[in-house]
Amino acid sequence: MATITFGGETVELTGQLPEVGQNAPKFTVKDAEGKDITKEDFAGKTLFISVVPDIDTSVCSIQSDKVNDWAKGVDDSVAVVTIANNEREALKAWAEANDANIPLYNDAQEFGEKYGVYMADMDKLARSIFILDAEGKLAYKQLVAEGTDEPNYDEAFAAVDDIK
């Protein structure tokens, strides 16, 4: 079980972080309409997953904006999504208010546990980025050590080019 800090306090994460090179765990999340979305829905594409603890906080909004802006320049062989455990209505409102062109999905804890980023004590997901290759293997992961910090965007965005 991994740990991070959040506001300087140590937080244990539930689940096991998957290893790069292994088949990424299957998951189910919900879209804005409540429809199930699974890992298999992205088969054949590189999947960039941006994970945020709470879309309605400043750092999460900044991360989602930066990923959204970057996604405007990727080709259709790459799917870019954000996953949070905010209620679907909050995700939908954020997407509309910020002109998001990428989907925001709700995780009720399954994704977080399968990917080792669920902060049970806070009922939030730890800030992270995962990239799956077109075959569904984990090709890149970044768990942000301090949950109130932004991820290393340059490294994550460059990893997509290395994977494709």
Active site residue ranges = 60
Residue with tokens 């405007």, as numbered in its chain: 72
